[in-house]
Chains A and B, each alone.
Chain A
Amino acid sequence: MSQANMNDPLRFYGVEMKSRLLVGTAQYPSPAILGEALAASRAEIVTVSLRREAGGGRAGESFWGLVRSLGLRVLPNTAGCRTVKEAVATAQMARELFGTNWIKLEVVGEEDLLAPDVFGLVEAARILCDEGFDVFPYTTDDLVVADKLLDAGCKVLMPWGAPIGSGRGLNNLFALRAMRAHFPDIPLVIDAGLGAPSQAAHAFELGYDAVLLNTAIARAGDPVAMARAFAAACEAGRTAFLAQPMEPRDMAAPSTPVLGRAFS
């Protein structure tokens, strides 16, 4: 039996992380509550959207300054970009603004579900990887797309659990299990769709390396307490995975032996 390793770091593009919870910065009641929630989440990475906040240039500076002042590693994202060109331009701007090669790449292909345009995603990932970016692609649970993203140079995959902001949890367990099995050595992050801490714990029990979420914390009645709950759930799920959960059985297995019981 292997020991659950308490010293259990995660690596993204060579950078070692202790926390396995990545958190967004949108939709909070105020920046003050955002700051408190991030502290409670114990996250080390925050993702920040750039496209709309940028406005005509650096008009978003006040808010970005607040995010920078939290002292966490910033993973800028291209949320809201609908074309390869837009996503690439936003990534380039993000690199300049935040001084990081990291980019969470989103190319929206369908408005209702905000589903990734996987064709555009692969194309944009190739361009950005060639330009030296460390790309974190927001993708579906499709294995072929995942393969092509790795081909393009991505060293992390971020499949959805469910559509962004839907809070529906892990929609396709079969596909997510298959993805874990296919890519045992690639850091896999469940990005989007988680609504409750139990769902985050489940992702870790499946062997996922990290989860990224925003709405579930930001729009909770008490975002700070919810951030704490997610931090605890992530730790529980990861610890459970390392501790090797039992397999379900088709019959009851008594904890105490029944053999020899009188009159049974």
Chain B
Amino acid sequence: MRIRIIGAGAAGLTVAFELVTRARAAGRDLALEVVEKNPGPGQGCSFYAGGMIAPWCEAESTEPIVASLGAEALDFWTNVVPVAERRGSLVVAPPRDRAELAQFSRRTSHFITLDRESLAALEPDLADNFASALYFEEEAHLAPRAALAHLAGLLAAEPNVAFQYGVDAATLPDNCDWTLDCRGYAAKPELSGLRGVKGEMMIVRSADIKLSRPVRMLHPRHPVYVVPRPDGTFMIGATMIENEERARVTAQSLVELVNSAFAVHPAFAQAEVVETGSDVRPSFIDNLPRLVRDGRRLYLNGLYRHGFLLSPALASRAARVVLEDAFFPEVMDEDRGQWRDAGRARA
């Protein structure tokens, strides 16, 4: 079977990986080509991702299905393709916004509450500023660019996988048994209801701050997260704006991100700005992911702000649609109102 995957971001590469491993286990012959318009892997919106594998934190503001699908990502990124560090994540709030922390704790699970002393034991640099924190021990984080470069490297070593970078798939002949369209926002003309939600981020370097795990700081207006990266830098993100400007970082957004990061740790004020970036998150109207099947073309899209969190679950389902003709109502039903209702029954 000849399969073309369009897009070498988190979605496309995890699908390629799932197809290769599942076909091998089943003794099936596959020829896979991954076509990417950029010159390398992970250069679309995955490039700007936070890389937090935080299904239980996300439950605060998303539907339950995000946490249940996202929980599958923990195993994928820590065992199957072990690029993530499983050191948990922390949620804090400035003293005057303690109500935010209480609300967050009511809407989430899988955490323990830390006092200043236990926070100091875990992240000494935070204990001066925060008297308490929520600690989601089982969560993980990864460095998106390194993770996808690693995954692309694993795939490139497979004899039946070919990569074509810098190629527009629209120019290629339609000579495959299956096409898996993982283009994200670029598929907008073909997927009704797909929109972009803008996000801006920055990367800074500071030798004065040591963090071992992602920190989310709650704030009524400008929540922020800080993710430590292996090279001594920190990713600070991310704005959420309902527009589709891909590459325009505004001064206002930077001011807000820096201000909030400064509240996480004052030394961020003196950090070196390494990079700022912006792109749009491919999102459907319910901000939930979908596999959209159109004959022998399968779109994997709508991962919204959860590219790394949801791509393993979507990829394994997509691979089974292709290899086993499987159907997964939780991500394939046209009208998933019933799923939302099931998730919303907590009132």
Contact = CB atoms under 8 A, between A and B. Distances in A.
A binds B: yes
Interface of A: 29-33, 35, 52-56, 59-63, 66, 165, 221-222, 224-225
B245 A59 contact: yes
17 contacts: A30-B283, A30-B287, A31-B287, A32-B285, A52-B252, A55-B198, A55-B241, A55-B248, A56-B245, A59-B198, A62-B195, A62-B243, A62-B244, A221-B106, A221-B347, A222-B344, A222-B346
Contact of B285 (A60, A66, A165, A224): A66
Nearest to B242: A63
Contacts of B79: none
Interface string B220-263: 11000000000000000000011111001000100000000000
Contacts of A165: 220-221
Given A52-B241, A62-B244, 13 more contacts: A29-B62, A30-B285, A35-B285, A53-B241, A53-B243, A55-B241, A55-B243, A60-B244, A66-B285, A221-B107, A222-B344, A225-B344, A225-B347
Contacts of A30: 283, 285-288
Interface in B171-213: 195-196, 198
B192 to A, nearest CB: 12
A30 B62 CA distance: 8
A225 to B, nearest CB: 4
Contacts of B243: 52-55, 59-60, 62-63
A60 B107 contact: no
Interface string B129-143: 000000000000000
Nearest to B304: A30
A106 to B, nearest CB: 15
User: Which bucket holds chain B's interface residue count?
Assistant: 20 to 34
Contacts of A35: 285
A28 B346 CA distance: 17
Nearest to B194: A62
Contacts of B296: none
Contacts, number: 64
B85 interface: no
A223 B309 CA distance: 24
B123 interface: no
Interface in B317-347: 340, 344, 346-347
Contact of B347 (A31, A59, A222): A222
Contacts of A224: 344
A58 B136 CA distance: 40
Interface string B64-80: 00000000000000000
B156 to A, nearest CB: 36
A96 B287 CA distance: 29
Nearest to A32: B286
A33 B283 CA distance: 14
B195 A221 contact: no
B170 to A, nearest CB: 23
Given A221-B346, A222-B347, A61 B340 contact: no
Q: Which of A35, A53, A165 has the most CB of B within 10 A?
A: A53
A138 B263 CA distance: 30
A53 B248 CA distance: 13
A86 to B, nearest CB: 12
Contacts of A53: 241-243
Contacts of B242: 53, 60, 62-63
Contacts of A62: 195-196, 242-244
A55 B346 contact: no
A29 B220 CA distance: 15
Nearest to B66: A29
A212 B61 CA distance: 23
A32 B344 contact: no
Contacts of B344: 222, 224-225
Contact of B195 (A54, A63, A222, A225): A63
A60 B283 CA distance: 14
Contacts of B346: 221-222
A251 B62 CA distance: 51
Interface in B245-296: 245, 248, 252, 283, 285-288
A225 B344 CA distance: 9
A64 to B, nearest CB: 8
A56 B195 contact: no
B288 A59 contact: no
A222 B64 CA distance: 12
B248 A56 contact: yes
B33 interface: no
Nearest to A226: B347
Contacts of B221: 165
A31 B346 CA distance: 20
Top 3 closest pairs, chain A to chain B, by CB: A32-B286, A63-B242, A30-B287
Contacts of A33: 286, 340
B63 interface: yes
A33 B62 CA distance: 11
